[in-house]
Amino acid sequence: MNNSSENNTRISPDWKLVEELGGATKVASLLKFKVQRVQNWKTRDIPAAIKLKYPKLFLKPQEKTGNNAA
C-alpha cells in the first residue's frame, strides 16, 4: 500500500493562472507578497479576496458563446 502524500495532493485549477503570469516568484513580486504565500495557492486556490482585489490579474471576462438561438 502506498501512503505517499504526493499521490493525494490536488493541484488547484488557479495554479494555471499563476504559471501564465510567470510563476510564484513573479506573482509574489507583483503583489508584494512572500513567495511562500503564493506557492500555497498551488493546492489551496487563490483566495477570493485576492482575486477581487486584483481583478486584472486573476479575473478574466466571460466570453459570449453566441448560442442564444431560441
How far is it, in rounded angstroms, from Cα 36 to Cα 23? 12
- 0.75 surpassed by pTM: no
| Domain assignment present for 1 | no
Q: Which pLDDT value is given to residue 9? A: 81
Q: Which pLDDT value is given to residue 7? A: 57
| Domain assignment present for 5 | no
Domain limits for position 38 = 11-58
Widest distance between CA atoms in the chain: 54
| Domain assignment present for 67 | no
Q: Which pLDDT value is given to residue 61? A: 77
| Domain assignment present for 68 | no
The number of distinct structural domains making up the chain is 1
Q: Which pLDDT tens digit goes with each residue over 9-66? A: 889 999 999 999 999 999 999 999 999 999 999 999 999 999 999 999 998 876 666 6
Q: Which pLDDT value is given to residue 26? A: 97
Residues in CB range of 36: below 8 A, 6 or more apart: none
How far is it, in rounded angstroms, from Cα 57 to Cα 18? 9
Contact by Cβ (8 Å): 66, 46: no
| Domain assignment present for 20 | yes
